[in-house]
Structure formats: C-alpha cells, structure tokens
A and B are shown apart, each in its own frame.
Chain A
C-alpha cells in the first residue's frame, strides 16, 4: 500500500513546480492550489527526492492520508480510544451484572427458601448473569429439591434486575381434616348419581336441589337427635341447566400476514416509545427483540410484519354453526374431565341484516357437591368445647 502524504510548497509557481517534479520523476496523485501555496499529494518515499533536488523551494509535510493518517489519528487519540474501549467493556460488564433480586411471592418462608436456593447456585447480587440454559437447569434443580413446597418457578432478567416468579404448592386439605362439614349443592340441579363416603345423605337420585341445599350432611342423627358430627364426604353428580345467549356478525374479519417484513428500531423511555425510522408498512404487527436495556431505557430491534384484513361474509348456515359452537364452547370451558354436555337445544334464533342471535339451552352433567365447613362457633351458636 502506498503511503501518501500532502506536501505544501510555499509561494511557488504552479507550472514551474510541476515541470520540476516531472523532471525528477515524482508521481503526483493529486494537487491543489491555495492562494500562493501549492499542495501536492505524493508517495512518502518520494519526499526524500524532493528534499534532495528541490532545495530552493520552501516546503513541509502538511497532511497525511491513507494508512499514515490512520496511524497518526490512532497515536493522537490513543488515550481517548483506550478510554472508549474500556468504558464499553465496563458498560457491557455492568450490563451483565445483577444488581437487584426481586422475589415475587408474599410468603416470607418461600422468600427465605428461594434466597437460600439462589445463594446455593451462586445467583446473588453483583454476580454475572447466567445463560438461559444454565438458569433452566438451576430452576429444575430447585423445583426437584422442593417438590413439596414449590409448584412453579421462573427466573428471568429485566435489565440489571433478576426477577424470580415463584408459586408455592397449595396443599388441598382433604375435607376429612375438618371436624364438621356438609356437602351442599353448588348450583340448581337434578341429582344424577350420588356416592356417599361419610355422613348422611339427605337427597336421592332424581331429586331436584337448589343452590345451597345440603345433600350430604355431617350430622349423624338417631331418633332425630344429633349423636355425632363428622365431615361429610362423597361425590354428587347432577344435571345442570344453562341458557346461553350468543350473537355472531355475518362479517368475519381475519388477519392475514402477507409475508412482507420490514425492520426498524425503537427507543423506549419512561413508558414512551419512539420509532427511529418512519414505518414503511401501513398495517403491521410488531415483534420486538431487545438489544439494550438499562432501567427504563430500552433499545429494541422491531420486526414489522405486514398484514391485511381479510373480510369474509358468512352464509346464514355458517353464522348459525359458529354461534352454536361459541355457545357450546362457553359452557365446555367450565367443565372438568369427568363432566360432559348431555343435551343442547336452540331455543330461539333471530336473524337480521348483519347479525345472528341464538339462545341455546344446554344440559350438563357436573359435580355439584361442594364442601361447606361449619365452624365450631356456628354449631348451635356455641362452641363444642363449652
């Protein structure tokens, strides 16, 4: 690579100088005139020749170019470059440190347990953040070690803060643990099946009950006198009736992605979002990838995915089927595995220009028995102990 320099010739005649430079075989890469001074861009090696043969000319090296200029700039701004380099390293290092740990659970015991477990796995403040894979491994170990206490655990980083979301295991106490309870109807129903494990059954299969009726009682009676009080248990399934009203418009709008994507950047600061470039897509859904985050300041890469709204007019039959499915799904969501829809019947159908209305009658088989715990104070208005 040629090492090029600018040489300044003071108060010189341009044409005379060019002829002289040509005579001594100097290669000129560029030249310019500034008032009476002439600047000539030459190879650094040729400068010695100029000094040797053009003694009468007053001259000096005025500027560097190419690799020489880069070298010169590096030397001049070395301290500044080093400072920037180390600042960047320090910033990246600090950005990868954990300054605060937030455990999202109100239970003090759980908080203590989590703190202890995190310390055991070297997850404390002023330590470097761990990789996603490593975090996943630690979460699995903590959950395995605390099977009886912890239900779910998530560790994630939000800037310089490590957030620990934890859910403790809820131990569902058997109703037999309570000294005195009844099984009551959770909704109006007709009893379909009844399995009694403890207590006394006050209802029979095919009986109608209303919400709150005692089905299995904890009172063990003899000759209409309460001899003992237990916690009743058993399974009660009943027919439950629902009347569901739904309406579905004929015009169905669906979002359809065109496959056209554009990239943008956004800056988030104090809940405000500023796009760096103007969006080139009219309708778009955004997907953000965080590039940098420091407290409330964020820089994100945004993938803008273009979509069009695909509007379709449903036929009456399609709208009817959609409305019926919606009604059934609404009820189905409430049901457990061993519960089912027995009957569905459309009671009313109304159609206008834009919408279809349905009223659907649905009968389900559901577990209607729910435990009603009777506190000691509630028994005959006085404590049992007294």
Chain B
C-alpha cells in the first residue's frame, strides 16, 4: 500500500532548504549533515556541505541520531561555522 507522507511533504514545503540548524532550549537540531567528525562532552564537529560546524558547550550528548538528522542535548555555548 502506498503511504502518504503528509508530514514530510509539509515539512519540506516549509523548510525548503538544503540544510539547517535549529537551536532551542537546551537542544540543537541539525538537518542534513554529512558526517559527524568529532564528538565529546565539550565539542561536536559536523561536516555539512560546504562548511564545518563546531558546537561548543558543556555536557553535550546525542539524544537522537539518523543518517540525516541529529538532535544534540546539553548546554550549548557557541555554534561556529567554518566555510571552506
């Protein structure tokens, strides 16, 4: 049976972006990352298309993780973008 992914269609319509990062109360949501390069309590480094993202914070943890999305938990102090 063919499934109707209304939620996904709607989400794609609203966020018509190649990739994005959302920061909210104690959480950081990364959409469409390429690779998880570094991961520790204080720092997470991600590869995202033409840039590298460095997340600094305390007690950083991965809450949820798929091939495309990442939900990071912890007190986030800084998000740095490094373009190639």
CB of A15 within 8 A of CB of B41, answer yes
User: What 1/0 flags go to A22-47 for Cβ under 8 Å of B?
Assistant: 11011111110000000000000000
CB of B64 within 8 A of CB of A28, answer yes
Residues of A within 8 A of B66 (CB): 27-28
CB of B39 within 8 A of CB of A15, answer yes
Q: Does B65 have its Cβ within 8 Å of any Cβ on chain A?
A: yes
CB of A25 within 8 A of CB of B67, answer yes
CB of B64 within 8 A of CB of A18, answer no
Determine how close the nearest CB of chain A comes to the CB of B49; give it in whole angstroms. Answer: 17
Determine how close the nearest CB of chain B comes to the CB of A270; give it in whole angstroms. Answer: 56
Residues of B within 8 A of A255 (CB): none
Residues of A within 8 A of B21 (CB): none
**Residue in A19, A25, A27, A30 whose CB lies within 8 Å of B39:** A19
Nearest residue, chain A, Cβ from B44: A15
Q: Does B23 have its Cβ within 8 Å of any Cβ on chain A?
A: no
| A19-B35 Cα distance, complex, nearest whole Å | 10
**Residue in A19, A25, A29 whose CB lies within 8 Å of B64:** A29
Q: Does A230 have its Cβ within 8 Å of any Cβ on chain B?
A: no
Q: Does A14 have its Cβ within 8 Å of any Cβ on chain B?
A: yes
Q: Does A21 have its Cβ within 8 Å of any Cβ on chain B?
A: yes
Determine how close the nearest CB of chain A comes to the CB of B23; give it in whole angstroms. Answer: 20
Determine how close the nearest CB of chain B comes to the CB of A37; give it in whole angstroms. Answer: 15
Number of interface residues of A (CB under 8 A): 14
| A19-B62 Cα distance, complex, nearest whole Å | 10
**Residue in B39, B41, B62 whose CB lies within 8 Å of A28:** B62
| A18-B66 Cα distance, complex, nearest whole Å | 11
**Residue in A14, A15, A27 whose CB lies within 8 Å of B65:** A27
| A31-B61 Cα distance, complex, nearest whole Å | 9
CB of B40 within 8 A of CB of A28, answer no
| A119-B46 Cα distance, complex, nearest whole Å | 86
Q: Does B51 have its Cβ within 8 Å of any Cβ on chain A?
A: no
Determine how close the nearest CB of chain B comes to the CB of A41; give it in whole angstroms. Answer: 9
CB of B41 within 8 A of CB of A21, answer no
| A78-B9 Cα distance, complex, nearest whole Å | 42
| A23-B41 Cα distance, complex, nearest whole Å | 18
CB of B63 within 8 A of CB of A22, answer no
Residues of A within 8 A of B40 (CB): 15
Nearest residue, chain B, Cβ from A26: B65
For chain B residues 1-60, which have a beta carbon within 8 Å of chain A?
36, 39-41
Given A19-B39, A22-B36, CB of A27 within 8 Å of CB of B67: yes
Residues of A within 8 A of B36 (CB): 18-19, 22-23
Nearest residue, chain B, Cβ from A14: B61
CB of B67 within 8 A of CB of A31, answer no
For chain A residues 312-371, which have a beta carbon within 8 Å of chain B?
none
CB of B63 within 8 A of CB of A18, answer no
6 CB < 8 A contacts A-B: A15-B41, A19-B39, A22-B39, A23-B36, A27-B67, A31-B63
- List 10 other contacts, CB 8 Å, given A27-B67, A28-B64, A31-B62: A15-B39, A15-B41, A18-B39, A18-B62, A19-B36, A21-B65, A22-B36, A22-B65, A28-B62, A30-B63
User: Which B residues have a C-beta under 8 Å from some C-beta of A?
Assistant: 36, 39-41, 61-67
